[in-house]
């Protein structure tokens, strides 16, 4: 038998979850612009900070209101962004594309949660992509420019001539 207190507790949790989902929806909409601004080197540090704060908020608040699957994906995104914040020159179109995919995936899951959908949210492949990106970024950061491909050369505004020379 469910007591009145249990019902009140459940209503309170649902209210907090709804507020969380509304806030995340708003923040994800704001982040769209930040993802696109990453293409310009002069905006990278500021925009990476904004996106990092979103991932951090989703991770912490999501876990605290019971949305552990959101928190888990956000943790991977946060790890990737931690590397990029230290070295914004590592941002490539591939990185931006992955961040956009993550943003789309967050939006999809938030929509599912708002609708109380029983649909499965499978982000196994996306988590794998994030892990691979983190490994690649770590290698590039530690190994220097020799690991850069042509796309990286276009996005890397610092020492571009040196990178091209080293590739020859």
The pLDDT tens digits for 46-95 are: 999 999 999 999 999 999 999 999 999 999 999 999 999 999 999 999 99
* 4-167 belongs to CATH 1.20.120.160: yes
Q: What is the pLDDT of residue 104?
A: 96
What DSSP assignment string belongs to 130-159?
HHHHHHHHHHHHHHGGGG--HHHHHH--TT
- Residues 20, 67: contact at Cβ < 8 Å? yes
**Among 1-5, 46-50, 128-132, the least confident range:** 1-5
Q: What are the residue ranges spanned by the domains of the chain? A: 4-167
Q: What is the pLDDT of residue 7?
A: 84
Angle among Cα 89, 94, 97 to the nearest 5 degrees reads 115
Rounded mean pLDDT of the chain? 86
Q: What interhelical angle do 44-64 and 68-86 show, nearest 10?
A: 160
98 band by pLDDT with thresholds 50, 70 and 90: very high
> Reduced to 3 states, what is the DSSP secondary structure of residue 117?
coil
CA gap 8, 146 in Å, rounded = 60
Q: Is the pLDDT of residue 164 over 70?
A: no
Q: Is the pLDDT of residue 144 over 90?
A: no
Q: Is the pLDDT of residue 30 over 60?
A: yes
What is this structure's pTM? 0.79
């Amino acid at each position: 038998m469910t007591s009145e207190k249990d019902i009140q507790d459940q209503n309170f949790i649902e209210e907090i979850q709804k507020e969380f989902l509304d806030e995340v929806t708003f923040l994800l909409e704001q982040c769209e612009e930040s993802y696109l601004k990453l293409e310009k080197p002069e905006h990278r540090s500021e925009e990476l900070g904004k996106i990092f704060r979103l991932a951090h908020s989703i991770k912490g608040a999501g876990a605290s209101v019971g949305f552990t699957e959101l928190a888990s994906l956000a943790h991977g995104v946060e790890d990737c962004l931690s590397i990029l914040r230290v070295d914004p020159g590592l941002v490539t179109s591939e990185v931006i594309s992955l961040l956009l995919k993550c943003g789309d995936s967050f939006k999809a899951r938030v929509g599912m949660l708002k609708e109380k959908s029983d649909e499965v949210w499978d982000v196994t492949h996306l988590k794998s992509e994030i892990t691979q990106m983190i490994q690649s970024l770590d290698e590039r950061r530690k190994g220097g420019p020799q690991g850069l491909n042509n796309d990286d050369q276009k996005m890397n505004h610092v020492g571009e001539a040196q990178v091209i020379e080293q590739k020859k």
